[in-house]
Structure 1
Amino acid sequence: MGETFAVEARDAVKVYGTGVNAITALDHVSVTVSRGEFFTLLGPSGCGKTTLLRCIAGFETPTSGAILLSGQDITEEPPYRRPVNTVFQSYALFPHLTVARNIGFGLEMMGKPKAEIAETVARMLALVRLEEFAARLPQQLSGGQQQRVALARALAPKPQVLLLDEPLSALDLKLRKEMQGELKRLQLETGITFVFVTHDQEEALTMSDRIGVMRAGKLQQVGTPRDIYDRPANRYVADFIGETNFLTGVVEGGAVRLGSGDLVRAALGGQTGTVTLAVRPEQIRVVATNAPGAIPARITGKVYFGTDTHYHFALVDGTEVVARLQSRAQGEDDLPKGVEVGLQFEDSSVQVLGP
């Protein structure tokens, strides 16, 4: 017998409005999430990721298709009858209740015994490392602490699935990075299935077991972070996940002739005619212009990022290329603007994306 998935969307369609005013938010989306998995829906605003999350939560009903939890069709079930909890972008804590009361509120509504509530609240406070804040009110906490309370409140009833709708977007950069680690730790310690929605590629890459990249209501690719990054299914995915250089050329034998006239070898998979190649900036090496296989280029600019420096180049036909090189120690020679160099990269680092 096959695996029973924690979450499954089967050919889900969601259309708002009718006739010429109809907007398709989900366009025949099918996806599965395994038990205990940290699964991320990634894409820009309006791509359908939050609509899918809301269909899983029960806040929206698909126009057609089905939503299943642990193999049970719950498409028409109201939210309160689904074993899921949702953490939103706004934490929605009760301002007049203490941290402990906020965490235990859902359990109180379920009619749990006081002793069980107290035990669960204590365990949740320890899980999110807020034991000393139990008696404080939400306004006495930082944004990161409020987020932890919201997570603890959602985890307290032991949902089968926790849905997270861009919960870190309101935090500053440093705190957001800290909370990324906290979220992954919580997911691993509880073993609960997480379905996380974000437009932030770094969040998706650093936390997820698998990622589903969405665009205009459709799933473009589902895979592990490494699959998505190293083997993007199309140009949209390659461009959305990380920085990418796109080089256009024509297939010539077992290689691609670029507009600059240079030949690049790649696994063409039988493709012919015009193709687009993708090469990540960190895969590019800067070498002498006379090095074997070097592509001539001129440095047009550079941006210092601390640990690395992004160098911008122009090929002989004007095509722009970016390389990410480890920053040199202070006082060492740097590559000045205007210098002619050669660019190299391994054949295996080149992804062929079609026209």
Structure 2
Amino acid sequence: MIEIGNTTKVFGSGETAFTALRDVNATIQGNEFFTLLGPSGCGKTTLLRLIAGFEPPTMGSIKLGGRDISRLPPNQRPVNTVFQNYALFPHMSVAQNIAFGLEMLGKPKSEIQSTTDEMLRLVQMEELKDRRTSEISGGQQQRVALARALAPHPEVLLLDEPLSALDLKLRKEMQIELKRLQNETGITFVFVTHDQEEALTMSDRIAVMNAGEILQVGSPREIYERPSQRFVANFIGESNFLDADLKGGTVTLADGSTFSVDVPEGVADGHVNVLVRPEHTSARAGEPGEGEIAATIDTIVYSGEATTVHLRLASGEPLKSRMGNTPQGSTDLPGEGGNVAVTIAPGAITVLRD
């Protein structure tokens, strides 16, 4: 659906020039929920604005359905955008807000009415269609903004952090709702967020960005379980990073423990950084046996569904271990300073490229 080719965006010129995007390449499929994920200032919103037509690329191309749209104005692109502040008309009703864009396009009244009714059903707002948008909740306003953007049946819907103003519980509900809308409409969604949970919950694929570049593109599971480099691993979820020596598909940790690993293409034998997710480890009281690692407890944190144990390995490296709680309680562990044996699940060690 969308092809982004060698795209660079520079703001300003001379000594004040700032490169927001640097030689970005990406392909977004039709009927895909594609998320641009990264910290503030990484270039994700700039890339969204280039797709929308609000900014032209300095170099490179943006194609939609095989057609180069890099220089087309926004109103000539089959694309709609949902902004962070929704930009609704407070003096208009819900139905009038949804119909507004269709009226501006000069659609027949019968089509406007039928499409508005269709969108109201889609976002489950039929009962509030005559209510002014200034009189409804933030979550309901977000649904109206979505319905208005979907009404012209765009080929692509761009969403610029539309859930950031909602409270936590409502944000989680709307994550599921957005994915449902994307499935029902079959429209390609391109979603911008800095929230890793949003990205993992909704996306078919995620592009992790930093400093104007796309570092890795993959499914949520690929991004989380097999990050390509340390930045991606650190940005997505909680991480343990350990020093190790790699030789022939085996890593040796600082305490001498050895583990078989998959070696990423381009990584040579020698000193490497490895990733271990906290939930892929467990700890028990006592001295380590075969395949276990010795550690001491720094802190134990209970968080309801899980207990996170902050450990210190013999090498001095910190390690977090997260274990699910049961109705009978969490694993019986000694207090701070106590000795434990740590187990790392098979296949849970990921060798990073940097």
Aligned match of 1:185 in 177, 180, 183? 180
For the residue of structure 2 that corresponds to 1:144, the secondary structure is helix
Q: Tell me which amino acid in the other structure corresponds to 2:299.
A: G
Q: Would you say the 8 A contact 2:307–2:330 is kept in 1? A: no
1:295 equivalent in structure 2: 293
Post-superposition CA distance 1:111-155 (Å, at most 9, x none): 111111111111101100111100111111110000000000000
Post-superposition CA distance 1:75-100 (Å, at most 9, x none): 00000000000001001000111000
2:135 equivalent in structure 1: 140
1:276 equivalent in structure 2: 273
1:3 equivalent in structure 2: none
2:103 equivalent in structure 1: 108
Q: In the alignment, does 2:325 pair up with 1:327? A: yes
For the residue of structure 2 that corresponds to 1:349, the secondary structure is coil
Q: For 1:166 and 1:354, locate their aligned partners in 2 and report how far apart those are by CA, in whole Å.
A: 30
Q: Would you say the 8 A contact 1:274–1:354 is kept in 2? A: no
Q: Would you say the 8 A contact 2:91–2:134 is kept in 1? A: no
Which runs of no fewer than 5 residues in structure 2 stay unpaired?
A: none
2:42 equivalent in structure 1: 47
Q: Would you say the 8 A contact 2:243–2:273 is kept in 1? A: yes
Structure 1 residues 1-355: aligned runs within 5 Å: 6-251=1-246, 254-268=249-263, 271-287=268-284, 288-329=286-327, 334-335=332-333, 336-355=335-354
Post-superposition CA distance 1:258-313 (Å, at most 9, x none): 33443343234562221001011111022442321110011111222211111111
Q: Judging changes above 3 Å, is the alpha-carbon distance between structure 1 residues 340 and 326 closer, same or farther for their aligned structure 2 residues?
A: same
Q: For 2:14 and 2:270, locate their aligned partners in 1 and report how far apart those are by CA, in whole Å.
A: 40
Cα drift, residue 53 of structure 1: 0.3
For the residue of structure 2 that corresponds to 1:154, the secondary structure is helix
Q: Judging changes above 3 Å, is the alpha-carbon distance between structure 1 residues 341 and 27 closer, same or farther for their aligned structure 2 residues?
A: same
For the residue of structure 2 that corresponds to 1:194, the secondary structure is strand
Q: Would you say the 8 A contact 2:8–2:24 is kept in 1? A: yes
For the residue of structure 2 that corresponds to 1:249, the secondary structure is strand
Q: Tell me which amino acid in the other structure corresponds to 1:221.
A: Q
Cα drift, residue 345 of structure 1: 1.4
RMSD across aligned positions (CA): 1.5
Cα drift, residue 333 of structure 1: 6.2
For the residue of structure 1 that corresponds to 2:347, the secondary structure is helix
Q: For 1:254 and 1:197, locate their aligned partners in 2 and report how far apart those are by CA, in whole Å.
A: 37
Q: Tell me which amino acid in the other structure corresponds to 1:57.
A: A
Q: For 1:297 and 1:103, locate their aligned partners in 2 and report how far apart those are by CA, in whole Å.
A: 59
Q: Tell me which amino acid in the other structure corresponds to 2:70.
A: T
Q: For 2:341 and 2:332, locate their aligned partners in 1 and report how far apart those are by CA, in whole Å.
A: 15
Q: Judging changes above 3 Å, is the alpha-carbon distance between structure 1 residues 11 and 254 closer, same or farther for their aligned structure 2 residues?
A: closer
Which runs of no fewer than 5 residues in structure 1 stay unpaired?
A: 1-5
Post-superposition CA distance 1:186-213 (Å, at most 9, x none): 0000000000000000000110000000
Cα drift, residue 338 of structure 1: 2.3
How many residues in Structure 1 have an aligned counterpart in Structure 2?
A: 350
Q: For 1:282 and 1:331, locate their aligned partners in 2 and report how far apart those are by CA, in whole Å.
A: 17
Cα drift, residue 165 of structure 1: 0.3
TM-score (norm 2): 0.95
**Percentage of identical aligned residues:** 57
Q: Would you say the 8 A contact 2:35–2:205 is kept in 1? A: yes
Q: For 1:233 and 1:314, locate their aligned partners in 2 and report how far apart those are by CA, in whole Å.
A: 26
